[in-house]
Chains A and B, each alone.
Chain A
Amino acid sequence: NAGVTQTPKFQVLKTGQSMTLQCAQDMNHNSMYWYRQDPGMGLRLIYYSASEGTTDKGEVPNGYNVSRLNKREFSLRLESAAPSQTSVYFCASSHLTGANQPQHFGDGTRLSIL
C-alpha cells in the first residue's frame, strides 16, 4: 500500500543550490500535483499535471520547474533555491476523469534553505 511516495523526507540547502524533489504514485492515477504548505496559509498549488505529457502552472509557480517523467512520476525542481522556498512540499495524485475524486497525498518533503 505505498500510494504516493516522496523523496527525500528532509533536506537542507544553501541559497543558490539546486535540488529535485521526487514523487511517484502506484495507483495508476492520471493527474499529479505539487503543493507547498506554509503556516497559516493552507496548501498552495505550485504545478500540476492533468495527464501524462502535460504540465500547468498553479498558484505559486515562480522559482520552480516540473517534469512528468511518466505516468507514475512527477518531479519538482528548484533551480536556485531561496530562503522563501523553505516549506513543506507535498505531492498528490488523483484520477483525471471525474474531478470529484479525492486527491491522495504523500507524507511530504521538509525543505530548509539557509
Chain B
Amino acid sequence: AQSVAQPEDQVNVAEGNPLTVKCTYSVSGNPYLFWYVQYPNRGLQFLLKYITGDNLVKGSYGFEAEFNKSQTSFHLKKPSALVSDSALYFCAVRDRPPSGNTGKLIFGQGTTLQVKP
C-alpha cells in the first residue's frame, strides 16, 4: 500500500536561514508526489509536484523539493525562510491501487513550520 511519512511534527528556523521539511514515501511503481501548505483557518494550497524528469522541482513562493529515489524521499526546501512561511505543510502521494488511477491522494500527518524573526 502507498504511504507517506513526515517524521517531524514541527520545524523551527530563523528568518533568512534555509529550511527543510522532510517527507519519505512508500509506493509501488513510479511515485507522483505533492507538497501542500495550509495557513490558519484556510484550506490546503498546492505548492509543487514531482511527476517525472528533473529531481529538483521548483514551486510557488520560492519553495523547491528534491526527489531522491534511492532514499525514497521528497524533502521540501527553501534557501531563505520568511516569517510568512510559518504554516502547516503536507506531503502527499498519489494512490495507485490495482484497480487503476483514481486521482486520490494519501497525505502525511503534516509538519508545522515556525519561522522566527
List chain A positions with a Cβ less than 8 A from chain B.
4, 31, 33, 40-45, 48, 50, 56, 58, 90, 92, 94, 96, 99-108
Contact = CB atoms under 8 A, between A and B. Distances in A.
A43 B44 contact: yes
B25 to A, nearest CB: 13
Contacts of A101: 103
Contact of A42 (B45, B49, B90, B94): B90
Given A99-B102, A105-B44, 16 more contacts: A4-B43, A40-B110, A41-B109, A43-B44, A43-B90, A90-B43, A99-B32, A100-B32, A100-B49, A100-B94, A102-B34, A102-B46, A107-B42, A107-B43, A108-B41, A108-B43
A42 B103 contact: no
Contacts of A108: 41-43
A107 B38 CA distance: 10
A96 B103 contact: yes
- Chain B, interface size category, equals 20 to 34
Interface string B82-117: 000000001000100000011111011110000000
A82 to B, nearest CB: 23
Contacts of B43: 4, 90, 92, 105-108
Query: Which residue among B32, B103, B104 has the maximum number of chain A CB atoms within 10 Å of its CB?
Result: B103
14 contacts: A31-B103, A33-B104, A40-B110, A42-B107, A43-B44, A48-B104, A92-B44, A94-B103, A99-B32, A100-B94, A107-B41, A107-B43, A108-B41, A108-B42
A85 B32 CA distance: 30
Nearest to A48: B104
B46 A99 contact: no
A92 B45 CA distance: 11
Nearest to A90: B43
Interface in B3-32: 9, 32
Contacts of A31: 103
A103 B105 contact: yes
A44 B114 CA distance: 24
Interface string B33-61: 01010000111111001010000000000
